[in-house]
Structure 1
């Protein structure tokens, strides 16, 4: 019985140790996936399988953009620092490191013939890179905000760049200049743009929730869709060019154009989809959230215009007289390549030797068999999973229940006079195949047929002898759970399941120390609270510090952080010496709390400390000034000790790293 679902979730898996920032699907096969994350890694996956095939390392900052080559034999990744790294997947090694962008790389694309890469950045620039010559050919300037999406035209002559400034710009590679500026009404940010695979047509998805089709002969809007509920985040033309798929929040729509017709609409819970592709008459979509990546499948045979129930009457894309792209390999070297602009000489993107630049980059193969099957093809014409792979199947709960076989007709009645002794739980077969069940049923039906004895693994696993004649029970194959259970040595190594008392005793062993610690902490806090309410804040703080309990100090700091007005130079001199140990704690909550306290001290008292240390000595005796100078000197010396900790930990990932970056900026005011 065939399945009836049009769309389903294929899998969800943890892709990185920290937040996932980007992903891309191999457009040739629709079966491989690459992800980039905050952990500065680039991981490769086969869609439908849970294990990472290969992990690429070398970036020093989080990865913000990734893209497969046209033949899926290369991957390029751009990071927050503006650096690009290109890996050769067939040889599992770094190919190039390209530097030149002044800010985070947000969009990437490979030239149709693989020798060039384009990158768009938050620095508003588009760069064209020559992989063979290891450098930047040209920098295209014109955008006034981040470049969200880049695409090469099918013939490789143009680059289209979609910007946050609401403009799609078309750049001519051979002329090295802009040839068109496609302004979107209202200046809404453009998220995505895609070239038609054959015709001179471009589609763009904008923040105003409208998809526009641009005629690339006149560079004017040909037609546009109605305003949708949410913006379209990714676009994908069918390889034959007969329709376009638009992915938005929890929805995929299929459009024809000239005139615009929504041919079908498929609800699917993929959230903000990041990429869609096709393979085996299926649409593959992928999205990410935090550390997880999810993949989804839509059956094209059940979607209009390929099959299923028509969504809307009327045609779709009609044949037009528009010209087509000429996809013969064109010359792609910029006419200005031989005389680079001064700007490129100033940036010197390839001034660093690749050997020095790539010494920390590596490709770690996690699954050799899968890597060999996917990326190491025998023929250079086959660089991706074969096209004759089976399409993805819907989840098991969508399939009909399997037909159960009836029991044998001649099965004898059980012996009622003296039933056999029950078999212990440890000898009952658990995972027995259908063939094994049939064999056991046949043996029960013919008990007189001799059965060869099952070889015993150990003497402690002997089966009890039955009190009546019955066939021996077949020993289950594979892993036996009892091998991993604790043994009772007093019973000769026999297996014994832990009782409820044993489990409770094991739990209480850890419960008692925790209770003792929490009781002591509560008692100490009551003492501090009593002193605090008596009106002596300084005495209460000194009492908490004398207890030498980090948890109590953290509780006190949380109160002081919530009421920043309680801080003064006297409290700062007492607490700063203890902040260094708390900043080095293994507990993130301790680090964050002590860091917030240090921020308050540096903001409120940093200028005071510096001013007192730089002030000239006073004439005569001034006890209060000398005492203030002593406290400021103590605070300064301890802050300089803490500075070494801050410098070492500013590259930590996540919110802890952000905290240390802020502290480093604040502590510079003491210089």
Structure 2
């Protein structure tokens, strides 16, 4: 029987060392799909051409880690926001700093360029959204309404609206010229990480950590449909250029969705882990992901992906019911955006919503701009991408060729057993001359994809060093895998027994006793697993539960495992938001007259929680100086704990 020819659907394109320290943000240019910008804990912004090994340009000036970057539509300007709240705009064609914008009081979490006018929107952990006129360094509007960090901002295709997504579980739509909120879209039960406008119709998509994607009608201001059961938190979505479908970058897969009714057209397996951004070029979807100082790029051939019509089989066996497509999917079901033929006019200033006065350039800003530089690292690539430029407008980008697929043994989209070559330890890509050598590993061990919430297999497997040129054979590979097998079986058997013990108590409905039993077992991984469940439903938390959990949180915050630290931070934040006002009010209240047993018990629990929180506050304060997302989380907790002092 003849072996069928396998044609590639998805493959890894490249892996580069992008920064001297951890990468904290990255974005693809949406017009070309070929330009990549990365921000790092080394306070730099680096520009790359996809599938080329060398950095094109390195932008300096920020004095704290760069946490958000965004390219404008023509890919000639870039804006970057830092952990300190400062924003810098660079002109890539002129290779120079253009503006420094100051005004936010905390981390810049999200940025977007207006599609026509010279405006930038910024969202921060300080919960504010600001609209900046980058021609005059001025803040035009400040939009207030979110109660937690603003994670994503997007301008509508016609430039009249701004959509925002935040950790407070809401999506909001703002009218730019009126300077006020048009509508709020509730419904998500977790932080909303991304929003995206349909390229043509009045439709908005939002993705959340609650593992759902919701579609919103912008004429009726109501939900159209909801995609449930995503493999993990939704971090990146992208509409097809013609608007026929939505792509979702899931954990190790690309999913293709329709929304009226909700349905899954196709699922493509791609080994990209947690993809951070998506772009489309030449009927190819480009996805980029980062881990520590490395950035990887992947390609999905969209000509081999089902984007409309009959639902394709799901290779990962997603058994949720899929509805049939509408009778005429090509016909628009709602209003179409009207795009202006020229740049839009400057938004009107509204006194009650605008900044009190326009900021004038200060000597401090001038100094910042003198110290900010755009260093061209690779003149040949720079000239190819950003030059020449005619006197009227930027020359349209030349038509680039699709990225070629690698040989058949490099296929990423095919299910089945891993190949022996997949078990090789690949050499780290060489550091380009323009990039300093990577620093030592961080003290906190980063969470990797497919990692259990508790214990990790790598903790029990011996480190294996394989010569780069030596080819593994099946026997050697199996021998290395078996080395830690017995140890892992013992650990997992013990953990399974402990979880069964906790589960037996859990079925009685007594949450406090369940947590007590997990603590008594003295296995921190079981506590982590249980807290990850309890954290999903805030109503399960009671004051007496806090007294049991707080000592465990202190242990988690000192763990070397990132997943433990994240769980501890989530639980602590929930306790502070729900119970700290009660605790401080109880302790500040005058003594009661007479005997009130229930009040005395509650007062005793408050005193105990206060003592435990005071013990934790020193640890939180010491870790608030960390860089990257760990520092951001601990700084937020430190602010929440300010009332303890």
Fold shared by both chains (TM-score > 0.5): yes
Contact 2:201 2:332 in 1 (8 A): no
Residue 264 of structure 1: aligned partner:
266
Q: Deviations over 1:624-659 (max 9, x none)?
A: xxxxxxxxxxxxxxxxxxxxxxxxxx999789999x
Which has the higher Rg, Structure 1 or Structure 2?
1
| Structure 2 residue 327 is matched with structure 1 residue 325 | no
Cα distance in 2 between the residues matched to 1:236 and 1:655: 24
| Equivalent residue number for residue 15 of structure 2 | 12
Who is 1:203 aligned against? 205
> Do 1:9 and 1:295's aligned partners in 2 also have CA atoms closer than 8 Å?
yes
Q: Which of the residues 295, 299, 315 maps onto 2:325?
A: 315
The whole-number CA distance in structure 1 between the counterparts of 2:359 and 2:296 is 40
Q: In the alignment, is residue 155 of structure 1 matched against residue 158 of structure 2?
A: yes
Counterpart selection for 1:293 from 275, 283, 295: 295
Q: 2:227 aligns with which of 225, 228, 232?
A: 225
Residue pairs, 1:215-254, within 5 angstroms: 215-254=217-256
Listed one character per residue, the Cα deviations across residues 134-190 of structure 1 (whole Å, up to 9, x for unaligned) are: 11101000100000000000000000000000111111011011111111243x210
Separation in 1 of the partners of 2:208 and 2:307?
25
1:37 correspondence with 2:40: yes
Contact residue 374 and residue 384 of structure 1 kept, 8 A? no
Note if 1:140 corresponds to 2:143. Answer: yes
Output the CA distance in 1 between the equivalents of 2:375 and 2:56. 9
CA shift, 1:335, in A, is: 2.6
Identify the residue that residue 419 of structure 2 maps to in structure 1: none
Q: Residues 308 and 171 (structure 1 numbering): CA distance in 2 closer, same or farther, change over 3 Å?
A: closer
Q: Does 1:110 align with 2:113?
A: yes
8 Å contact from structure 2 (residues 107, 125) kept in 1: yes
| Structure 2 CA distance for aligned equivalents of residues 85 and 2 of structure 1 | 51
| CA distance in structure 2 between the aligned counterparts of 1:310 and 1:319, rounded to whole angstroms | 22
Change beyond 3 A, Cα 1:108–1:34: same
CA spacing shift, 1:22–1:653, aligned 2, 3 Å: closer
Structure 1, unpaired ranges of 5+ = 401-649, 662-671
Tell me which residue corresponds to 2:348. 335
Residues 20 and 38 in structure 1, CA contact (< 8 A), matched pair in contact too: yes
Cα 1:324–1:17, aligned 2, differ >3 Å: closer, same or farther? same
Give distance in 2, aligned partners of 1:307 and 1:296.
Answer: 26
The answer as to 2:49 corresponding to 1:46 is yes
Q: Which segment is superposed worse, 3-12 or 307-316? A: 307-316
For residue 65 of structure 2, the aligned residue among 47, 55, 62 is 62
| CA RMSD in angstroms, aligned pairs only | 2.9
Structure 2: unaligned runs, 5 residues or longer: 314-321, 412-623, 636-645
Q: Provide the C-alpha distance between the structure 1 equivalents of 2:249 and 2:293, rounded to a whole number of angstroms.
A: 21
State the 1:359 CA deviation. 1.0
Alpha carbons of structure 1 residues 308 and 222: separation in structure 2 relative to 1, 3 Å:
closer
SS for the counterpart of 2:272 is: coil
Residues in 1 aligned to 2:74 and 2:172: alpha-carbon distance in whole angstroms: 26
Q: Which residue of 2 aligns with 1:605?
A: none
2:365 counterpart of 1:362: no
Match of 2:20, SS state, is: coil
Using the alignment, how far apart are the partners of 1:288 and 1:108 within structure 2? 19
Please point out which of 356, 367, 383 is paired with 1:372: 383
Contact 1:203 1:213 in 2 (8 A): yes
**SS of match in other structure, 1:61:** coil
Shift in CA distance, 108/657, structure 1 to aligned 2, threshold 3 Å = closer
Matched residues, number: 406
Distance (Å, rounded) in 1 between the aligned partners of 2:257 and 2:302: 14
> Which of residues 92, 95, 100 is equivalent to 1:92?
95
Q: Distance in 2 between matches of 1:270 and 1:96?
A: 35
- After superposition, the Cα gap between the structure-2 partners of 1:391 and 1:70, relative to the gap in structure 1 and judged at 3 Å, is same
SS, match of residue 358 in structure 1: helix
Residues 303 and 131 of structure 1: CA distance in aligned 2, closer, same or farther (over 3 Å): same
Residue 562 of structure 2 aligns with which residue?
none
1:77-106 alpha-carbon deviations (Å, 9 max, x no partner): 000111110000010000000000000101
1:39 & 1:331 partners in 2: Cα distance?
37
